[in-house]
């Protein structure tokens, strides 16, 4: 029997999710039977749409999603690894995505308004997850992001798995720059090494450019990476190059 994953969405507006199931890797894995995405509409699960949310105890602005319809929805999924999208949750990373895809059945709770009743989080949620430090109007949007990230890791999702493995963050580094035809564009030439046909030199160039990009644009990523001796040597060379380029005029500023 082939491998199969089930991703369930508990949402107030599941219609936001439906269009994204019809394109790209998502459509491919769904049609292949590798992934089943099920949508649970809280408006239909609650006794009435008007009983989905209520005012928070203690006062204050906004509304809170009630626990009863959420409990019913979770029970309808038949059980799974329950994720609630929350600003205080663990930050989504590629490393975390690889751990999550080991769960064959995931249930996403897509919040709205001020969030959900905390008792649901305490009793039913296995992981609180954040996709970034900003505010979204709908948990469905966060769900779509995570769905896309996870679906790329499923068998048969990508036409070229070698391409997927070289994406940014797969190695904890940003990816190297890429070029295609024409060879010259508005006075800018493709780096000669990429035209050399020397695959060993090209691989070294890409590794160096990935390290350089990460150092200059996301140095925080380098803090938790175990670099190989070759990568450490390349990084040392890059740092010296960057310091030499900055020059003494920046000292003391």
pLDDT tens-digit profile of 70-94? Answer: 999 999 999 999 999 998 999 999 9
* CATH fold for the domain made of 184-250: 1.10.1270
Helix (H/G/I), strand (E/B), else coil: 25: helix
When pLDDT is cut at 50, 70 and 90, the band that residue 169 belongs to is: low
Beta strands in the chain (DSSP E): 5-11, 35-41, 53-54, 64-65, 81-91, 105-109, 127-130, 184-185, 188-189
Residue 153 has pLDDT above 70, yes or no: yes
Record the pTM. Answer: 0.84
Amino acid 6: pLDDT:
98
The neighbour count for residue 219, using CB atoms within 10 Å, is 9
167: pLDDT strictly greater than 70: no
245, two tokens? 């380029």
Check if the beta carbon of residue 17 is closer than 8 Å to that of residue 9. yes
**For the chain, what percent of residues have pLDDT higher than 90?**
78
Contact 210, 234 (CB under 8 A): no
Tell me the domain boundaries of the chain. 5-151, 184-250
Q: How far is it, in rounded angstroms, from Cα 5 to Cα 168? A: 25
Listed residue (140, 121, 134) closest to 91, CA to CA: 134
**Under a CB-based contact definition with an 8 Å cutoff, are residues 38 and 7 in contact?**
yes
CATH topology of domain 5-151: Alpha/beta knot (3.40.1280)
Q: Which two tokens stand for residue 95?
A: 């490393």
Look at residue 248 in the predicted model and tell me its pLDDT.
Answer: 62
Q: Among candidates 102, 93, 105, which has minimal Cα distance to 146?
A: 93
Query: How far apart are the C-alpha atoms of 122 and 125, rounded to whole Å?
Result: 6
């Amino acid at each position: 029997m082939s491998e199969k994953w089930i991703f369930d969405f508990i949402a107030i507006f599941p219609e936001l999710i439906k269009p994204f199931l019809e394109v790209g890797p998502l459509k491919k894995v769904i049609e292949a039977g590798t992934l089943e995405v099920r949508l649970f509409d809280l408006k239909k699960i609650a006794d009435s749409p008007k009983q989905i949310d209520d005012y928070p105890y203690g006062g204050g602005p906004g509304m809170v999603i009630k626990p009863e319809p959420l409990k019913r929805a979770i029970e309808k999924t038949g059980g799974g690894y329950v994720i609630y999208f929350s600003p205080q949750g663990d930050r989504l990373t590629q490393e975390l995505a690889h751990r999550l895809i080991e769960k064959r059945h995931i249930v996403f709770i897509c919040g709205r308004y001020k969030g959900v009743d905390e008792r649901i989080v305490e009793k039913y949620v296995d992981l609180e997850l954040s996709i970034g430090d900003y505010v979204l109007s709908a948990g469905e949007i966060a769900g779509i992001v995570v769905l896309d990230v996870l679906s790329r890791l499923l068998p048969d999702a990508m036409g070229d798995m070698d391409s997927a493995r070289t994406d940014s963050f797969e190695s904890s580094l940003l990816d190297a720059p890429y070029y295609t035809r024409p060879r010259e564009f508005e006075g800018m030439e493709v780096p000669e090494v990429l035209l050399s046909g020397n695959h060993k030199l090209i691989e070294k160039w890409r590794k160096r450019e990935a390290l350089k990009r990460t150092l200059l644009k996301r140095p925080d990523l380098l803090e938790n990476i175990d670099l190989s001796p070759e990568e450490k040597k390349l990084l040392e060379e890059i740092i010296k190059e960057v310091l030499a380029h900055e020059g003494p005029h920046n000292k003391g500023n």
